[in-house]
Chains A and B, each alone.
Chain A
Amino acid sequence: MTRLSVWTVRTALLYLGLGFLLGALMLLQKGLPLDPGLLRLLPLHVEFVLLGWTLQLAMGIAFWILPRFSQEPRYGSLRLGWSAYLLLNVGVLCAGTGQWLGISPAVFLLGRLAELLACLCFVLHAWPRVKPTGG
């Protein structure tokens, strides 16, 4: 497993943990009303579990497991991979907290833009690695 995969998969696991925590707090509130404000965590929960966990895990595993090249750089462009990782996490944090706290819509927009750029970097990284093994 490359260092990039270790970071990406571990960050995905952290988001899974946080996403489950937020979900559990909301479910708790639905069963035993404590503070209606807990339900406002919904957009943060959705952002964390769908993009922070599911998408990020898929990216991390792809960095690891897609066919490598027989010559260096064997994992393709790691710069694109790291950019995808950084942009995705800036995006998830901005889009998630932007919606949750209801701060300026520009933060939410910036988050979505970072997520889009992350996906572009990921596609550019993965595209040449989707190939027959070897070569």
Chain B
Amino acid sequence: MPRLTRYFIKTALLYLALALVLGLLLAARAAFDLPAEFAAFSPVFFHVLMVGWAAQLIFGMLFWMLPKYSKEQPRGNEPLAWSAYILINVGLVLRIIGEPMNTVQAEWNLGWLLVVSAVLQLIGGWAFILTAWSRVKER
């Protein structure tokens, strides 16, 4: 299993655990009448689960399993794939911090965290698509 795949999958597993903790918090809010601010974690919960866990697990598996790009470069453009890993994760962490804070403490003006997060995740996602695209082919 390539190193980048291990990074993708282990990071995905950490996000899975975090998503379940967030899911528990959201359920606890309803059950114990906790402050309404907890609901600000709802979009973060979805995206930790679907970007952090599901998409990232898929990226790791695709990087490993897709047909080889060439003999010399079996996994295609590896630096681009690594940059996808870094950009998506930095972007997602900024969202995890920025989105609830921006909702709960609007006066702190942390909106820029979300702007940076959006740009990083977008470039990261597109970088992964570029590396995967050329490996999706008939043999």
Contacts and interface: CB of A to CB of B under 8 A. Distances in A.
Interface stretch (B8-16, B19-27, B69-77, B94-102): B94-102
B3 interface: no
Contacts of B125: 16-17, 20
Contact of B67 (A1, A33, A54, A57): A1
Contacts, number: 76
Contacts of A30: 99, 102, 111, 114
A103 interface: no
Given A3-B138, A9-B136, A13-B129, A20 B114 contact: no
Contact of A28 (B67, B99, B118, B138): B118
A44 B67 CA distance: 31
Interface string B49-63: 010001100100000
Interface in A5-28: 5-6, 9-10, 13-14, 16-17, 20-21, 23-25, 27-28
A110 B132 CA distance: 32
B114 A31 contact: yes
Interface string B105-135: 0000011111101110110011001001100
Given A17-B129, A20-B121, A32 B136 contact: no
B114 A6 contact: no
B113 A31 contact: yes
Interface of B: 50, 54-55, 58, 67, 95, 98-99, 102, 110-115, 117-119, 121-122, 125-126, 129, 132-133, 136-139
22 contacts: A5-B136, A6-B137, A6-B138, A13-B136, A16-B129, A17-B126, A20-B121, A23-B118, A23-B121, A24-B122, A27-B115, A28-B114, A28-B119, A30-B102, A30-B114, A31-B111, A31-B112, A32-B112, A49-B50, A54-B50, A54-B54, A54-B55
